[in-house]
Amino acid sequence: KQWYQRRVRGLQWVIIYLSDTDFITMLQRFKAGLREGGYILIKDNVTKSGSMVDSDDSSITRSDLQLKQIFSRAGCQLVKEQVQRHFPRELFKVKYYVLQ
């Protein structure tokens, strides 16, 4: 647990409430605060293409391509990605991203 707390920063269903600019700034700050060998973990919904704004809660669901462009613009390297399995097909796909 101690290793995890020192070397990993994780977000789950948070980035949907950030603008692209705020998301990039947050990633840059996380990256700057990582210890050697640390990771940023992101788990979130992903659209098939483009982005979708929910008018009820103002959340933004982005595509895989958009997320990867944001990671790159923030100076983060994508180390690993994975789709969550056994998730209902009628919902957005959920992906995990590991960044450094």
* pLDDT 10s digits, 27-74: 999 899 888 888 999 999 999 999 999 999 999 999 999 999 999 999
Q: Which residue has the higher pLDDT, 98 or 10?
A: 98
Tell me what pLDDT residue 11 has: 66
Of 34, 42, 32, 36, residue with least CA distance to 10: 42
Q: If you write DSSP's letter for every residue of 30-49 in order, what string do you get?
A: HHHHPPTT-EEEEEEEEBSS
